[in-house]
Amino acid sequence: MIRAFLLDVNQKDLYKLAAMLEQSGKAAVVGMSCHPQSALNQIIELQPDVLFLDLQMQGLQGMYVAELVKQKLPAIQIVVITESKQHALWAFDQAIEDYVLKPLEEVRLGLSLERLRHGS
């Protein structure tokens, strides 16, 4: 089972993603947060397999969070979940495992989980 941490400043989206992941039976949510600053310490402490990350944040931008997490936990997989396509090239350059656009759809999230399970 994939151990997942969720970081999204939109609480509604956060809980929707958590429910979808739990419902899939392929991922267990080990932590989640709406606050990027406090989430960094939680992520490092919990060492999840994957970080589901929204890039649209105030203060600490999601891209910066991704880079900090990768420095501390190089093996972590990151899946970007966002409303915008504008950072897709950055995600590709950073070897982000997947880039999923909101609104979340079960089929698309399922494909992302399969990609994570197979490590590709």
pLDDT in tens, 1-16: 999 999 999 999 999 9
Q: Identify the CA nearest to 101 among candidates 89, 109, 90.
A: 109
Distance CA 93, CA 15 (A): 29
* Structural domains in the chain plus CATH codes: 2-118 (3.40.50.2300)
pLDDT in tens, 18-67: 999 999 999 999 999 999 888 999 999 999 999 999 988 876 688 899 99
The model carries a pTM of 0.92
- How sure is the predictor about 120, in pLDDT bands with cuts at 50, 70 and 90? very low
**Average pLDDT rounded to a whole number, residues 96-115:** 95
28 neighbors 22 (Cβ within 8 angstroms): yes
